[in-house]
């Protein structure tokens, strides 16, 4: 993930069209001279509409977004990372798109059953030998098979996983929404040019005129409510024909306006949207970091399940081999007349059962691999082989009270829930403020040019300055909507409190479950190891005196050994997942930008720590 090297300026330099030169000659001369100047004005108008600087403006937006993301990640501390906006990733769009004729009726391909074709395969009768041969062919790997380690899978997922990319873009969208809100609190420039045609009636061309009005201004929201604006307005009119001493006019004025609330909308509540947008970016940074931890945990669980399935397949293959040995030995005993013929059929049946079970395990593994590839964003048709590497995380010493305290303090999702309570509390205050009456102070100052001159240029006349002030009060006779919103915000506040308490309780349950999961997995490991040893002893006893055991005894011993080995492998996997779950549920799981587990102080590993571990040794 690339990091923005330095803050950038968010200042914007608006580009506005220059107004035609003012002077005493603007209205003089023939109407053709005016038409020329009018054409120039229209050209300037079109220049303001053509998005010539759109790409550079988008570049500034991208830089500002990346800076917001960087600042939010730094505020989070703890090595949090952030995505970087890459504009080339997204559809550029068209200024004037041309829709196809059938855009409102997308085509559907749904043929009738009679137009479809189904071809059945003739089923052939197979014996045990042909079944075994087909199974061996299924196990052959492709020549271009890619060996996929856990580190490779995580690194690939960080670049290609739809789930991860969606989380990044959700973070990006919050930053963009903040920039939109902050831009509303910057000076907003505007330039409006209006070309008009006026007819005074009578149907005569001598009573008609053309006019151009250009208003160049800027507005600014006030931090305590309301707004101020300044505008420079220029006007020019031209009669279509000089008749009966008709005159052309040109003038300008400089206008200042202010609208300041004194009751409803006054104070800190005016900035509520801006404050909430900034807080939302902090929440998004926390949510993205929590997502990365959950994503790492989920991938670890998925990957270790694949490894467990591989181990189950290896155990199943050994079971098939042992069952085949039992079958061959039993057939030899039948041939020598030392046992009944049905014992050979029993052994053969057990071998076929083992083959069928192994075939089901391999198909389940293939399905799991395809789902795993789809989750990390890999083409499901790409042949891969999972590297069967186990994790070797050390078992933590768990103190339940300390673990709960860590979760309540460090869990990022709980911090979001806690701060949302403050958000809803502020919304109650905002809703209460909205129930007040509307008392606004309105100020206007208009400085025009000399009105006695038909073509005054920029000759402003202080004696004609117009200032107006007014206080407008609207009594709160109807505040039903506002009162309903106040009550609604109060209810939402209580719901947010209960939601936070419920989240704390759920977190406590999760921590306790994770701690008990570690103990449960340790116990299962010990039991499974005893079971494997007992099964191996049973198998050795049968092998030492084969004549004393029946085919049933031998096949039961083989099945028992396979089940014991599967249980031990599952217990080892569950222990590693329980440790990761405990670290995540207590808010202690830390993931590097490369997608590796950062060991905490005191976590001592063996020489082979397994995949996904950052080496922090000096």
Give residue-wise pLDDT tens across range 98-149.
999 889 999 999 999 999 999 887 776 666 566 666 666 655 666 678 899 9
> Which pLDDT score, from 0 to 100, does residue 163 have?
95
Question: Residue ranges of the chain with pLDDT lower than 50?
Answer: 1-50, 244, 607, 615-618
Instruction: Check if the beta carbon of residue 606 is closer than 8 Å to that of residue 326.
Output: no
Q: All domains of the chain, ordered by start, with CATH?
A: 143-165+276-419+487-585 (1.20.1600.10)
Residues with Cβ within 8 Å of residue 404, at least 6 apart in sequence: 508, 511, 512
Helix, strand, coil tally for the chain in percent (to 5): 55, 15, 30
The pLDDT > 90 percentage for the chain reads 54
Alpha-carbon distance of 18 to 15, in angstroms, equals 9
- H or E stretch including 40? helix 31-49
Residues 6+ apart with CB under 8 A from 323: 347, 350, 351, 354, 555, 558
| Predicted structure pTM score | 0.82
Looking at residue 397, what is its pLDDT? 92
Q: Are 330 and 343 in contact (CB under 8 A)?
A: yes
DSSP designation for 88: G
Angle at 78 between CA 75 and CA 79, to 5 degrees: 95
pLDDT tens track for 417-441: 999 999 999 999 999 999 999 999 9
Using alpha carbons, select from 65, 167, 91, 69 the residue that is nearest to residue 377. 167
Residue 95, classed as helix, strand or coil, is coil
CA distance 151 to 167: 20
User: Residues near 194 by Cβ (< 8 Å), separated by ≥ 6?
Assistant: 212, 213, 214
Residue 161 and residue 292 in contact, taking contact as beta carbons nearer than 8 Å: no
Give the pLDDT score at 341: 81
């Amino acid at each position: 993930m690339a990091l923005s090297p330095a803050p950038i300026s968010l200042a914007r330099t608006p580009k506005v069209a220059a107004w035609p030169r003012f002077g005493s000659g603007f209205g003089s001369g023939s109407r053709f001279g005016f038409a020329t100047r009018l054409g120039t004005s229209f050209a300037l108008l079109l220049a303001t509409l053509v998005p010539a600087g759109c790409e550079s403006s988008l570049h500034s937006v991208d830089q500002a977004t990346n800076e917001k993301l960087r600042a939010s990640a730094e505020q989070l501390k703890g090595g949090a990372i952030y995505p970087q906006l890459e504009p080339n990733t997204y559809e550029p769009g068209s200024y004037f798109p041309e829709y196809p004729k059938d855009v409102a009726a997308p085509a559907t391909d749904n043929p009738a059953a009679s137009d479809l074709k189904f071809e059945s395969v003739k089923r052939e009768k197979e014996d045990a030998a042909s079944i075994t041969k087909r199974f061996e062919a299924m196990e052959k790997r492709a020549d271009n098979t890619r060996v996929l380690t856990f580190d490779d899978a995580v690194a690939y997922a960080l670049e290609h996983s739809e789930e991860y990319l969606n989380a990044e873009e959700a973070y990006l969208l919050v930053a963009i929404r903040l920039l939109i809100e902050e831009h509303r609190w910057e000076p907003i420039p505007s330039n409006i040019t209006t070309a008009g045609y006026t007819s005074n009636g009578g149907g005569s061309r001598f009573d008609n005129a053309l006019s151009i009005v250009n208003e160049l201004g800027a507005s600014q929201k006030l931090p305590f409510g309301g707004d101020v604006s300044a505008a420079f307005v220029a006007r020019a009119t031209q009669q279509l024909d000089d008749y009966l001493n008709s005159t052309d006019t040109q003038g300008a004025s400089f206008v200042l306006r202010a609208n300041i609330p004194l009751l409803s909308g006054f104070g800190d509540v005016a900035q509520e949207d801006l404050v909430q947008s900034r807080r939302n970016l902090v929440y998004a940074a926390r949510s993205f970091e929590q997502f990365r931890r959950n994503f790492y945990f989920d991938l670890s669980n998925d990957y270790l399940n694949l490894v467990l399935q591989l181990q189950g397949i290896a155990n199943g293959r050994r079971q098939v081999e042992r069952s085949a040995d039992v079958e061959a030995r039993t057939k030899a005993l039948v041939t020598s007349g030392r046992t009944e013929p049905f014992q050979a059929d029993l052994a053969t049946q057990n071998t076929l059962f083992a083959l069928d079970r192994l075939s089901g395990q391999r198909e389940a593994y293939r399905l799991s691999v395809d789902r795993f590839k789809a989750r990390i964003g890999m083409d499901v048709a790409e042949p891969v082989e999972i590297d069967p590497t186990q994790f070797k995380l050390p078992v933590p010493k768990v103190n339940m009270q300390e673990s709960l305290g860590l979760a309540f303090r460090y869990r990022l999702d709980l911090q979001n829930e806690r701060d949302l309570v403050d958000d809803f509390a502020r919304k109650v205050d905002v809703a209460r403020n909205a129930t007040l009456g509307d008392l606004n102070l309105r100020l206007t100052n208009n400085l025009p040019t000399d009105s006695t001159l038909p073509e005054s240029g920029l000759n402003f006349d202080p004696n004609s300055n117009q200032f107006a002030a007014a206080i407008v009060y609207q009594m709160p006779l109807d505040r039903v909507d506002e009162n309903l919103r106040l009550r609604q915000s109060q209810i939402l506040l209580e719901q947010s409190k209960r939601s936070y308490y419920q989240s704390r309780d759920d977190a406590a349950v999760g921590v306790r479950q994770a701690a008990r999961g570690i103990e449960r997995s340790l116990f299962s490991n010990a039991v499974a190891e005893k079971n494997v040893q007992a099964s191996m002893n049973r198998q050795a006893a049968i092998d030492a005196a084969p004549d004393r055991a029946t085919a049933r005894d031998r096949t039961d011993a083989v099945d028992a050994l396979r089940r014991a080995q599967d249980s031990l492998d599952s217990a080892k996997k569950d222990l590693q997942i329980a440790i990761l779950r405990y670290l995540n549920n207590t808010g202690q799981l830390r993931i590097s930008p490369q997608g590796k587990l950062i060991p905490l102080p005191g976590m001592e590993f063996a020489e082979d720590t397994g995949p996904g571990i950052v080496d922090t040794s000096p």
